[in-house]
């Protein structure tokens, strides 16, 4: 009996430890889910420093959710003084250095604080997610979450999340060696219950400015034609990436339609643009790295192909080199 009870006790201890291990594994993901919810549902008004490629800029972000409509305003407090105001899907860009106002359409789920990641439930397949330690930033208690990629095709993150609100007070985008590529650090932030309409009015006078209204990236006619016109695909992808968007678009500076493919692993996204017209210059190729954004351009059967994403250079090159016309679309 004593041996039986001892064995039963060990079984219960083992079960308890297993449950604790599962709960611990779930904890970092829950912090990320809470952060995503805070970014999209809270009202917040903060000043932050954005550093990338040796350049530092101070900006103010105001975000309000009212009646299901998201309104945002992003203001550069130094440098050009540019302002970006979004109401629903309409984004208005005030560019004083160009004396221009640009109005365009953006996806409803996009955020002006766009460098911050959005982690889905499948993230753990390709990233190690760990809760590291508690610390303090701008007088607030935070939880540090470290997200490390499992291969060379994606970036990692360090996230300092406010324990009280779930807002990320500091975010670092890192390469595989842990070197910081891009950083967002809040100097101050508030989460008021209400934000008045006046907070979303531009500071600058726009007398004499040129107003430019861009067509939606995907026009109704082009979207309708997408299924019949689309001809291209990336036949091989880095692990975890899959197609999330296929559209045919009219884009400035191009002749004819452009096929736009978006591939994502649930966190990082890569856009592929294939121009419909043939180009005589077959030397249009090369790569470029600006901060965290990688670009690779090439020619495929005479068609210009450009691949862009906030991913390592290896990822855009991998996808670009696998873009081909689908066999069923060939004449």
Q: What per-residue confidence (pLDDT) applies to 256?
A: 73
Instruction: Tell me the pLDDT band of 277, cut-offs 50, 70 and 90.
Output: confident
Q: Measured between alpha carbons, how far is 22 from 26 in angstroms, rounded to an integer? A: 6
Confidence grade of residue 315 (pLDDT, cut at 50, 70, 90): very high
Q: 144: exposed, middle or buried (C-beta count within 10 Å: 0-12, 13-18, 19+)?
A: middle
Among candidate residues 248, 244, 222, the one with its CA nearest the CA of residue 234: 244
Report yes or no: 296 and 316 within 8 Å, Cβ to Cβ: yes
Provide the residue ranges of all domains of the chain, joining segments of one domain with +. 22-212, 220-329
The confidence score (pLDDT) of residue 182 equals 92
Maximal C-alpha separation, the chain: 92
Question: Is the pLDDT score of 245 beyond 70?
Answer: yes
Tell me which fold the domain 22-212 belongs to: outer membrane lipoprotein receptor (LolB), chain A (2.50.20)
CATH of 220-329, one of 3.40.50.720, 3.40.50.620, 3.40.50.300, 3.30.200.100: 3.30.200.100
Helix (H) or strand (E) holding 276: none
pLDDT tens column, 18-68: 333 333 445 888 998 899 899 989 999 999 999 988 889 999 999 999 998
Provide the pLDDT for residue 222. Answer: 43
pLDDT digits (tens, 9 = 90+) for 73-94: 999 998 778 999 999 889 999 9
With 0-12 CB in 10 A as exposed, 13-18 as middle and 19+ as buried, what is 220? Answer: exposed
Write out pLDDT tens, residues 106-121: 776 677 776 566 676 7
| pLDDT at residue 230, as a whole number | 64
100-105 and 210-213 as β-strands: parallel, antiparallel, unpaired? parallel
pLDDT band at 251 (very low <50, low <70, confident <90, very high): low
Six-digit token pair at 283?
Answer: 């030397």
Tokens of 34: 């809470």
Q: What is the pLDDT of residue 109?
A: 64
CA angle 178, 262, 297 (to 5 degrees): 75
- The average confidence (pLDDT) of the chain is 83
């Amino acid at each position: 009996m004593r041996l039986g009870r001892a064995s039963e006790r060990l079984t219960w201890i083992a079960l308890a430890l297993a449950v604790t291990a599962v709960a611990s594994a779930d904890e970092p993901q829950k912090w990320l889910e809470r952060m995503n919810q805070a970014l999209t549902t809270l009202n917040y008004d903060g000043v932050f420093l954005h550093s990338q490629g040796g350049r530092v800029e101070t900006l103010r972000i105001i975000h309000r959710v009212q009646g299901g409509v998201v309104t945002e305003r992003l203001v550069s407090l130094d440098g050009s003084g540019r302002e970006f105001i979004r109401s629903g899907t309409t984004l208005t860009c005030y560019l004083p250095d160009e004396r221009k106002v640009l109005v365009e359409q953006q996806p409803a789920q996009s955020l002006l604080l766009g460098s911050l990641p959005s982690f889905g439930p499948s993230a753990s397949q390709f990233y190690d997610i760990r809760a590291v330690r508690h610390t303090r930033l701008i007088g607030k208690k935070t939880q540090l979450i470290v997200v490390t990629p499992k291969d060379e095709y994606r970036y990692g993150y360090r996230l300092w999340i406010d324990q009280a609100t779930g807002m990320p007070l500091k975010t670092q985008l890192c390469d595989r060696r842990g070197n910081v590529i891009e950083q967002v650090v809040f100097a101050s932030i508030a989460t008021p219950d209400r934000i008045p309409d006046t907070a979303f009015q531009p500071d600058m006078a726009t007398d004499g400015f040129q107003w430019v209204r861009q067509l939606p990236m995907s026009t109704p006619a082009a979207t309708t034609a997408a299924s019949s016109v689309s001809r291209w695909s990336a036949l091989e992808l880095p692990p975890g990436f899959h197609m999330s968007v296929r559209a045919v678009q009219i884009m400035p500076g191009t002749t004819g339609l452009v096929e736009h493919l978006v591939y994502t692993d649930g966190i990082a996204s890569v856009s592929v643009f294939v121009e419909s017209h043939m180009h005589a210059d077959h030397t249009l190729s090369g790569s470029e790295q600006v901060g965290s954004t990688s670009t690779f351009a090439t020619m495929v059967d005479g068609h210009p192909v450009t691949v862009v994403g906030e991913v390592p250079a290896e990822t855009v090159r991998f996808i670009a080199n696998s873009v081909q016309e689908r066999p069923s679309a060939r004449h």
